[in-house]
Amino acid sequence: MNTEEVIECLMSEHGCGAHEMAEVRFFKGYRRNATGEVVAITVEIHDSGRSAGGIRYMVIAHDEKGRTTTGNPCESIEVALDICHWDKLDTDDYIDAARAAR
């Protein structure tokens, strides 16, 4: 089965009945942040399949310091990477706000 078929099967009455499903691929590497520090990151690329149309792809990234960022779903991997809010991985303000919300 290809990705489209698996997603369709998962969303069917014979699957888990989900109304949204995506294949997720993980990539690990290193990124130099705004202060010049090299930080390990994990990038997730979510693919909801052709049937999702213009909201097929989404990127979520995490760094070794516990920061997470994302962008909006869009039509291509290139755009998903381009609109990801990478600057959120450059500041501890994001972590402090998340901790305060708990």
| Enclosing domain of residue 64 | 22-101
Domain count, the chain: 1
**SS3 (DSSP) at 9:** helix
Amino acid at the residue 60: I
Residue 52 inside a domain? The answer is yes
**What does the pLDDT read at residue 81?**
97
Q: What is the pLDDT of residue 34?
A: 84
* Assigned domain for 2 exists: no
User: 73-80 long-range CB contacts below 8 Å, 24 or more apart?
Assistant: 73/46, 73/48, 77/45, 80/45
Residue 54 counted as domain residue: yes
| Average pLDDT per 10 consecutive residues for the chain, totaling 102 residues | 85 81 96 91 95 94 94 96 94 62 60
Q: Is residue 88 part of a domain?
A: yes
- Is residue 78 assigned to a domain? yes
pLDDT at 77: 96
